[in-house]
Amino acid sequence: MSFSGDVKEELLRHCGSSRHCQIAELSALVSFSGTDIDSLMNNEGSADDPGSDPAARKYFTLLEKTFNIVKRADEEQLRMLKQALSSRVLLQKSCCRRAYLRGAFLAAGSVSDPNRSYHFEIACRDEKQAETLAEIMDSFDISLKTIIRKNHPVVYLKEGSLIVEALNVMEAHVALMDFENSRILKDMRNSLNRRVNCETANIGKTVTAAVKQTDDIQAVMRMPEYKSLPYGIKQIADLRLKYPDASLKELGEMCDPPIGKSGVNHRLRKLSLLADTLRRDP
């Protein structure tokens, strides 16, 4: 099963304990399913049918829990159901807004595998639905973005931290932990790759510099004036030829007396300048 499917299965098992939360989730399921209550009531699915999609199974589960409607509803039950789902007070409480988001995601949402990419979305029928979701998410300090796909708005998130917050709002805590674990591992791999790339680049620079230093030293050693150079200059020249892979710090520690990296670099630069002069004026 996909990660998105895992999230929906978890939300399918989560039922709000309060009647008003159950009604809020039912309202979202109906609103975002793209059909009406009468059509849903004629659906052949059920709460216990594993062949039904998660949204349909949750719909029938909530019908039974909230309105004691097991399958078919009479006219009075349908009237009560429609009246309850059209109530304007559905989203006043934080718990009901969470439930509404669960219903919307079950009916029209998806989230990508965090090992591949970060993408969370809910497809809406119209701008009003998109605005409702944006207002709900904003109440939890989550800012949704909107695009138009096939003439319908789709609200979405691309940042991993915001997707984690959205999963938390919907109370998909198992999926949240799985997402966070994947995100941590992904960040660790990216950090390790950056470090390896940086160290590889530094090694390349060090090797290139060492090769040039060796060429410069060998050129200077062929000069008659080499013997008259200061002891420190000749010492660092001998050490670099003997230890071509050593760092500046290591070369400085091998000097007698020991010197710092800046001292080593200063002496090597003098040798390099001498070599450049020799090449210009052989």
Q: What is the pLDDT of residue 73?
A: 52
Domain locations in the chain as residue ranges: 3-185, 193-276
For 148-172, letters b (16+ CB in 10 Å) and e give eeeebbbbbbeebebbbbbbbbbbb
Q: pLDDT class for 259, splitting at 50, 70, 90?
A: very high
Q: What is the pLDDT of residue 161?
A: 93
DSSP 111: E
- Asked whether the predicted pLDDT for residue 180 surpasses 80, the reply is yes
**Structural tokens at position 120:** 């969370």
Partnered with residue 93 across adjacent β-strands are none
**Mean pLDDT score across all residues of the chain:** 85
Cα separation, 117 vs 149, whole angstroms: 20
Task: Work out the average pLDDT over 183-188.
Answer: 88
Cα separation, 159 vs 181, whole angstroms: 15
Query: What is the separation of C-alpha 149 from the centre of its chain, rounded to a whole number of angstroms?
Result: 23
Q: What is the pLDDT of residue 69?
A: 67
From residue 125, give the alpha-carbon distance in Å to each of 11, 109, 110, 154. 22, 12, 15, 9
Which residues are within 8 A (CB) of 131 and not within 5 positions of it... i.e. 6 or more apart?
Answer: none
SS3 category, 54: helix
- The rounded percent of the chain whose pLDDT value lies above 90 is 48
**Does residue 81 or residue 244 have the better pLDDT?**
244
| Edge-to-edge strand ranges of the sheet holding 120-123 | 109-111, 120-123, 152-157, 145-149
Task: Work out the average pLDDT over 33-56.
Answer: 60
Residue with structure tokens 């969470």? 98
Q: What secondary structure, in 3-state letters, does 17-48 show?
A: CCHHHHHHHHHHHHHHHCCCHHHHHCCCCCCC
DSSP β-ladder status, 120-123 and 152-157: antiparallel
Task: Work out the average pLDDT over 167-195.
Answer: 92
- Asked whether the predicted pLDDT for residue 50 surpasses 50, the reply is no
Per residue in 239-256, pLDDT (tens digit) is: 999 998 888 899 999 999
Q: pLDDT class for 74, splitting at 50, 70, 90?
A: low
Q: What is the pLDDT of residue 121?
A: 98
From residue 29, give the alpha-carbon distance in Å to each of 12, 23, 212, 226, 267. 12, 10, 70, 87, 76
Give the residue among 124, 117, 119, 166 at the shortest CA–CA distance from 148. Answer: 124
Q: What is the pLDDT of residue 60?
A: 79
Lowest pLDDT segment from 65-79, 122-136, 162-176, 237-251: 65-79
pTM above 0.85, yes or no: no
Tell me the range of 4-18, 84-98, 151-165, 207-221 where mean pLDDT is highest. 151-165
Tell the CATH topology of 3-185: Endonuclease I-creI (3.10.28)
Helices (H), the chain: 3-13, 19-33, 37-41, 54-67, 75-85, 94-108, 127-139, 160-169, 173-221, 231-242, 248-254, 261-280
